[in-house]
């Protein structure tokens, strides 16, 4: 006769082996027991849940065999390893962790409008809001409740990571930031049993799914366009941030040059100068690139700030874009007024990134998909400048 059919000391049918096992794991999680902490004795557990003591012993032995518990003769049973988190199957709640994003009481996405860091700033598109709208378009349709957390800084992200394990969640979609410590914390949360999907960027060392722009392919395509227009001296303006999106865009820039047989010149890979009030200025970077023995004829920008910074710098130096200097790069924002010059731009498919991330998370919640992390990349749209917008006199 199985333990699930045996009579308990109270005379009622007690819980089966798997339920006892689950109770022990939930007890450890609920009480936040750490490795080395002691759990109740077999006798105490038997009384607490009205279970047959032999069934309790069997359940605990299985957890010892898995390395989650350890027994010390005469001392009791202790936590020995990280206990997988029990995911709530009924909460239907997903957490978003993204910079500048919050949910209004009506469930609509809201967030601060981002201002560029340039010396003459402009209003930037908040990529987080667009991705979040893509996520919501999938999850709300299926009846999921979404809670939003802002992680504009590493400190904010750490605070959110502290509270996520205590929320009744089925999964998390995050646009991560930070260092190796942040990567380890995300990995630990994932190992606890909580499905996570990264958007826009990811930690290479963390075994977590991600949906991002095809940054390498998009950057390579855009630089190829500049090369096809006769440019061989193409500067790269970047912020040198430790993000996979930033690193991949530089990788695409380098790949396009190398494929065309153009040597990569480290002297024309430049970042901004930090001026008053922490504003960025690219005038000195552009002057540096133009003073090289072979002056640059084009600039590829890593993002909106880099593209617009190059255009502003050219204007301050009396350089005409695109006749004297061609500019191209990633640019998701609306074209600001004031310096309306033509340039080729890469626009990310942010809504699609959010939708794919939501579907990937739902797949993980259902326990589907390969065990290894999935890296999904979405092509960016290259919007070239019309040929008649250019003067060919500088060729």
Strand spans (E) along the chain: 69-72, 76-79, 93-97, 102-103, 109-110, 114-115, 123-124, 145-149, 171-174, 196-199, 209-213, 234-237, 269-270, 273-274, 280-281, 298-301, 326-330, 344-347, 375-378, 381-383
Q: How far is CA 210 from the centre of its chain?
A: 7
- CA dist 345 and 276 (Å) reads 29
pLDDT of residue 286: 97
Please give the CATH architecture assigned to the domain spanning 215-348+382-389: 3-Layer(aba) Sandwich (3.40)
Identical fold at 93-213+350-378 and 215-348+382-389? yes
Going from N- to C-terminal start, the domains of the chain cover 3-79, 93-213+350-378, 215-348+382-389
Distance CA 205, CA 216 (A): 19
CB 4 within 8 A of CB 13: yes
User: pLDDT at position 7, please?
Assistant: 36
Report cis status (omega within 30 of 0) of the bond before 322: yes
Give the model's pLDDT for residue 274: 83
What pLDDT does residue 393 have? 36
Which one is the CATH code of 3-79: 1.10.3660.10, 3.40.50.740, 1.10.10.10, 1.10.290.10? 1.10.10.10
Q: 3-class DSSP state for residue 118?
A: strand
Q: Which pLDDT value is given to residue 17?
A: 67
pLDDT tens-digit profile, the chain (395 residues): 333 333 333 333 345 667 787 788 877 876 767 888 899 988 888 877 778 888 888 889 888 888 889 999 888 999 987 666 555 556 789 999 998 887 666 666 666 566 777 777 777 777 888 999 999 999 999 999 998 888 878 888 888 888 888 788 999 999 998 878 889 989 988 887 889 999 999 999 999 999 999 999 999 999 999 999 999 999 999 998 889 999 999 999 999 999 999 999 999 999 998 877 778 899 999 999 999 999 999 999 999 999 999 999 999 999 999 999 999 999 998 887 766 789 999 999 999 999 999 999 999 998 888 889 999 999 999 999 854 344 443 33
Is the separation of the CB atoms in 257 and 234 below 8 Å? yes
Which single residue is written with the structure tokens 């709208």?
Answer: 133
- Prediction pTM value: 0.75
CA distance 338 to 10: 82
The owner of tokens 């440019």 is 231
Assigned CATH for 93-213+350-378: 3.40.50.2300
């Amino acid at each position: 006769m199985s333990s699930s059919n045996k009579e308990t000391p109270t005379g009622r049918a007690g819980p089966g082996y798997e339920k006892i096992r689950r109770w022990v794991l939930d007890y450890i999680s609920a009480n936040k027991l750490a490795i080395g902490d002691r759990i109740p004795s077999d006798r105490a557990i038997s009384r607490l849940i009205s279970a047959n003591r032999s069934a309790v012993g069997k359940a605990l032995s299985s957890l010892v065999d898995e390395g989650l518990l350890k027994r010390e003769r005469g001392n009791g049973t202790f936590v020995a390893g990280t206990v997988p988190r029990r995911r709530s199957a009924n909460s239907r709640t997903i957490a978003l962790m993204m910079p500048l994003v919050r949910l209004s009481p009506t469930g609509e996405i809201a967030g601060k409008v981002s201002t560029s860091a340039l010396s003459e700033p402009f209003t930037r598109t908040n990529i987080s809001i667009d991705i979040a709208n893509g996520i919501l378009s999938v999850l709300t349709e299926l009846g999921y409740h979404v809670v939003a957390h802002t992680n504009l800084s590493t400190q904010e992200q750490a605070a959110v990571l502290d509270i996520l394990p205590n929320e009744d969640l089925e999964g998390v979609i995050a646009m991560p930031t930070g260092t190796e410590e942040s990567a380890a914390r995300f990995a630990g949360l994932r190992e606890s049993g909580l499905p996570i999907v990264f958007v826009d960027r990811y930690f290479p060392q963390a075994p977590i799914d991600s949906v991002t722009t095809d940054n390498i392919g998009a950057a390579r395509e855009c630089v190829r366009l500049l090369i096809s227009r006769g440019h061989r001296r193409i500067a790269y303006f970047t912020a040198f941030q430790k993000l996979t999106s930033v690193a991949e865009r530089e990788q695409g820039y380098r790949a396009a040059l190398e494929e065309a047989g153009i040597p990569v010149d480290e002297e024309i890979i430049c970042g901004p100068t930090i001026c008053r009030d922490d504003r960025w200025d690219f005038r000195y970077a552009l002057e540096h690139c133009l003073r090289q023995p072979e002056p640059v004829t084009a600039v590829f920008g890593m993002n909106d700030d880099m593209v617009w910074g190059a255009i502003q710098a050219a204007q301050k130096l009396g350089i005409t874009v695109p006749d004297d200097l061609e500019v191209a790069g990633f640019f998701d924002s609306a074209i600001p007024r004031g310096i309306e010059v033509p340039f080729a731009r890469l626009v990310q498919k942010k809504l699609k990134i959010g939708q794919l991330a939501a579907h990937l998370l739902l797949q993980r919640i259902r326990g589907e998909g390969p065990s290894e992390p999935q890296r999904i990349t979405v092509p960016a749209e290259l919007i070239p400048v019309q040929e008649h917008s250019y003067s060919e006199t500088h060729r």
